[in-house]
Structure 1
């Protein structure tokens, strides 16, 4: 596939669509190596990843569900609790997307967040080329991930990159015309 085709094919493939087939470590390493090639201002390379597989997927689901239960107050929903608990177990792997802020703060934080997002896009395009489903989830509970992971004081969790093999892809996304979003000066 050429790059334009891969970009057009990239879409969110959600945990409910995964078929349970395991993901080889070598494939995850390919994704991580693609992420590591993202552009980064002043070479801060702020992306940090934590690969979650096997029994740790269940532990993550339980942590998310219980944290939701403890913090939701009157907004508690049994449906959301169950979804938080089971979604991680549907994935072949989850890569926690984290950012390590440059201790010198030599560049604006948004630039480091953008670099991490570009690293994730590299993983997503690679996953698409490999016909592997992917989805970036950023639930509000990510602010509590320091209680699950050993995050450094300058690290922040920006979400979860769900991965799984699938049989039926999501429908094609047809973006609105670029002309409506472009001003030529």
Structure 2
């Protein structure tokens, strides 16, 4: 069997730092790389068939290569060093997004992700969540451990005011 026909790979918890070898696996639809030592995700930019990508618990700060992965519906980036999430604004098919435990303060780029149903923003530096008010499909949001804690919920729907 050729490795190039693989559609799913789980390489979690393997102390991987170099993922260049993955760049030719164009048939991948699911890729798990959680709990590794990855800081360069440029090789992933060619994997445009991906629907599921797990990159939690790595050493990521630059997520620009993800902007080309427009077929993603589930993306996990928790526990990294991410502060700029502008590259995510092109991922309009996302339904699930985990950004917990990063260094994010500006979440305005998320306002384009109108298919989001679940959003994790726990333990960041977020003080303003007005950008989320346009996400009408959102039914779960976790924003605990952010500077917003003392502010009144600006979201207009009663469903959004449950802060888990």
| TM-score interval (norm. to shorter) | under 0.3
Choose between structure 1 and 2 for higher RCO, CA contacts under 8 A separated by at least 6 residues: 1
More helix by share: 1
| Rg larger for | 1
